[in-house]
Amino acid sequence: MNAHGQPHRPVGIVMIEDDEGHARLIEKNIRRAGINNPIRHFTDGGTALRHLFEDVDGPAKNGPALVLLDLNLPDMSGTDILTRIKAEDSPLRRAPVVVLTTTDDKVEIQRCYDLGCNVYITKPVNYESFAQAIRQLGLFLSVIQVPEVE
Answer yes or no: are the C-beta atoms of 65 and 12 closer than 8 Å: yes
* 22 contacts another protein (rule: CB under 8 A): yes
- 25 vs 149, beta carbon nearer another protein: 25
Tell me the CA distances in angstroms from 122 to 27, 30, 69, 98, one per residue in order: 16, 16, 11, 10
Answer yes or no: are the C-beta atoms of 18 and 24 closer than 8 Å: no
In this structure, what DSSP letter does residue 149 have? Answer: P
- 126 vs 145, beta carbon nearer another protein: 126
* 125 contacts another protein (rule: CB under 8 A): yes
Measured in degrees and rounded to the nearest 5, phi and psi for residue 149 equal: -75, 140
Residue 10 CB, shortest distance to another protein, in Å, is 26
x/- map, 76-115, another protein, by CB under 8 A: --------------------------xx------------
Residue 25 CB, shortest distance to another protein, in Å, is 4
* 74 contacts another protein (rule: CB under 8 A): no
Residue 101 CB, shortest distance to another protein, in Å, is 9
Residues 52 and 55: their CA atoms lie apart, in Å, by 7
Residue 12 CB, shortest distance to another protein, in Å, is 24
Please pick, from the candidates 47, 72, 77, 142, the single residue that binds another protein as defined by CB under 8 A.
Answer: 72
Residues 127 and 114: their CA atoms lie apart, in Å, by 28
Q: How do strand 12-16 and strand 39-42 relate by DSSP bridges?
A: parallel
Residues that bind another protein in the complex, under the rule CB under 8 A: 19, 21-22, 25, 28, 72, 102-103, 123-128, 130-131
